[in-house]
Amino acid sequence: MTGGMLLTLTVEQRVLLHLWDTPLGDNPWEGRPELTQAGVSEAVGIARKHLPRTLKKLREKAHILEETRHVAGAKQRCRVYGLSNEGRRAASELVEDLHMRKVKFEGEEVEVKSLHNHTTALLDLLRNIDSSGTYQLQVQSEPDQTSSIDGRDLPLEHRLAIYDSIVRTAWADGIVTKDEQAILDDMSMYLGLEPHQTEPLEKQARDDAVKPDAENSSLYKQMLEVAWQDGEVDSNEQAMLIHSQTCSDSILREKFNSIGSVTDSTIASRPTVQRWKPHGKMERSVKMKKTCLKICEIP
């Protein structure tokens, strides 16, 4: 249930309420996952990519503090957020206003304050107040229904297998972007994995990703074969070959030698050699380009 009353609040107000219910804690080194950008965005019900704009506005109003702390499961220290003194005052005023609002519960009109207790976050309570102003208790799942489960509740071998699968997907193209690394950090936190558990998996996935690709070598041979179909390698084909070369010079020498006697200097310079007039040059160039794009994985 999204909650009618919850939707009457701005994202800034929701962030204030979440941080009001989830303090930073006294330990200046340890941070809670709920206070990272991923945790805050999940709690207030918005996409993570939209959260930085809201956090910037709250910083400009001096309502929040930003610190870097160690968060369980994260490889590096993460930015976590908490309320400043000014932010706590603003949040307290908002909480007081919400507490005085009237809602219907079990046929009676009551104040929100009477429904709010320390075991339930205010945002969760507001989610259960529908558009008609009626508070509805969450219906607990039946025993045979699938209930939500926290990643930390899974057996360790399952968590490691999940993380390994995601890491290998991220490294499939041979590089991990900044966004992909952020997703990996979020997943490691969700699964409750520590750096000493995730780093070996990442290293293995990285090593496997940079191993020579036998298929690429085969495709490179195909390019050479296409290039030499008419007995010449023109400047465009030469550029494609140099750009897409993924095999060793020994493979290149083997292919050239299969066509004719070629010296080491010939292989090094990749000259344009014409033995007879080319036929079907346009078709050959198109085929060369397609093969090159396949090797380079260019869409």
pLDDT of residue 96 exceeding 90: yes
Q: Which residues of 249-271 are buried (b: 16+ CB within 10 A; e: fewer)?
A: eebbeebbeeeeebeeeebeebe
- Of 274, 286, 291, 278, residue with least CA distance to 224: 291
pLDDT recorded at residue 275? 37
Is 6-127 a CATH 1.10.10.10 domain? yes
Instruction: List, for residues 47-85, the tens digit of each pLDDT value.
Output: 888 888 999 999 999 999 999 888 877 777 888 999 999
Percent of the chain with pLDDT over 70: 65
Name 109's bridge partners: 104
Instruction: Report the alpha-carbon distance of residue 184 to residue 23 in Å, rounded.
Output: 25
What whole-number distance in Å separates Cα of residue 296 and Cα of residue 225?
A: 18
Reply yes or no on whether the pLDDT at 259 is more than 80: no
Cα distances (Å, whole numbers) of residue 213 to 23, 174, 218, 219: 50, 11, 9, 10
Q: Both ends of the chain: CA-CA distance in Å?
A: 41
Q: Is a pLDDT exceeding 60 seen at residue 24?
A: yes
Which pLDDT value is given to residue 153? Answer: 73
Q: Each residue of 153-174: pLDDT tens digit?
A: 778 888 888 888 888 888 887 7
Q: Domain boundaries in the chain? A: 6-127, 152-209, 214-296
Indicate whether 142 pLDDT > 50: no
- Evaluated on CA atoms 286, 228, 247, 220, the torsion sign reads positive
In one-letter notation, the amino acid at residue 97 is: D
Q: What is the mean pLDDT of residues 123-139?
A: 81
The structure tokens listed for 231 are: 């007995």
